[in-house]
Amino acid sequence: MRRSVLEAIRAGVWDYEPLEANGDQYSSTIAMPGSQEKIDMLATRAAEGLPLWHEEDRLEWGDENNPTLA
């Protein structure tokens, strides 16, 4: 079993999907989409075999609906 999408790609496995993970199994980020901080977070998640997106990640500048920004 591949640990991350990066390992799967190196092995030629193009249909890899990470194991499902609840939002409480990894942290969200308040980094702005497109920022280096957000890109770094996505890279870390990919390397760890986690889903790229967290339901509480910041989506836009005025994301007041996100509880992690309150």
Domain ranges of the chain: 5-13+25-69
Residue 58 near residue 32, CB atoms below 8 Å: yes
- Residue 59 has what pLDDT? 87
- Residue 32 has what pLDDT? 92
Q: How far apart are CA 55 and CA 66, in angstroms?
A: 9
Per DSSP, which regions of 1-70 are E strands?
A: none
- Residue 49 has what pLDDT? 81
Q: Which residues contact 5 (CB under 8 A, 6 or more apart)?
A: 16, 18, 46, 49
* pTM score: 0.67
pLDDT tens for the 70 residues of the chain, in order: 557 777 888 889 888 777 777 778 889 999 999 999 999 999 999 888 888 889 899 988 777 556 555 5
DSSP H/E element including 46: helix 36-47
